[in-house]
Amino acid sequence: MRYNEKELQALSRQPAELAAELGMRGPKKGSVLKRRLVKLVVNFLFYFRTDEAEPVGALLLERCRVTQEEPSGFSISFLEDPERKYHFACGSEAQCQEWMGALRRASYEFMRRSLIFYRNEIQKMTGKDPLEQFGISEEARFQLGGLKA
């Protein structure tokens, strides 16, 4: 599947939601924990060698599962292949919880669902659509299903 590396590079330079040096181990058997600068930008996770400006790699954070791995670590796996895990080692339990929370909220799908949730709740409570003020109330991706079920 073709993609433009420059687009990803540009994204990796954007302000990050979270960035920290973590231990990281790939999903392949026998892979070793390495120190990486890990950076969360929108729904992508970039990881860099600690002294380099270009990321080594990028993961798309959609349809993934974030699981705690003792001690003070977590793993990311993708729904379609749950045994294949990317492992991360944090400096503390607090850091681990911070990363896990941020990663779970990072996907576009999660944000979209949250937006729809708040929109629906606000509309129920006020009778008004909070998206109207932004001029996006008609957009298909923010629509609720009809209550036909």
Q: Could you tell me which of 11, 16, 17 has the C-alpha nearest to residue 54?
A: 11
Q: Which is nearer to another protein, 42 or 94 (CB)?
A: 42
Task: Give me the torsion for CA of 28, 29, 32, 33, rounded to 10°.
Answer: 70
79 Cβ contact list (under 8 Å, min separation 6): 63, 64, 65
Q: Which is nearer to another protein, 94 or 111 (CB)?
A: 111
Q: Which is nearer to another protein, 35 or 113 (CB)?
A: 113
Q: Which 15-44 positions form the footprint of another protein (CB under 8 A)?
A: 42-43
Long-range Cβ pairs for the range 90-93 (8 Å, 24+): 90/20, 90/22, 90/23, 91/20, 91/22
Q: How far is the CB of 94 from another protein (least distance, A)?
A: 19
Question: How many residues in the shown chain lie near another protein by CB under 8 A?
Answer: 74
Binding segment toward another protein, per CB under 8 A, in 29-37, 88-96, 140-148: 140-148
For position 132 contacting another protein by CB under 8 A, the verdict is yes
Q: How far is the CB of 86 from another protein (least distance, A)?
A: 8
Strand 18-25 versus strand 57-60 pairing type: unpaired
Question: Which residue type sits at 12?
Answer: S
For position 140 contacting another protein by CB under 8 A, the verdict is yes
Q: Which of 20, 59, 72, 98 binds another protein (CB under 8 A)?
A: 59
Q: Which 84-103 positions form the footprint of another protein (CB under 8 A)?
A: 84, 103
Question: Which residue type sits at 15?
Answer: P
For position 81 contacting another protein by CB under 8 A, the verdict is yes
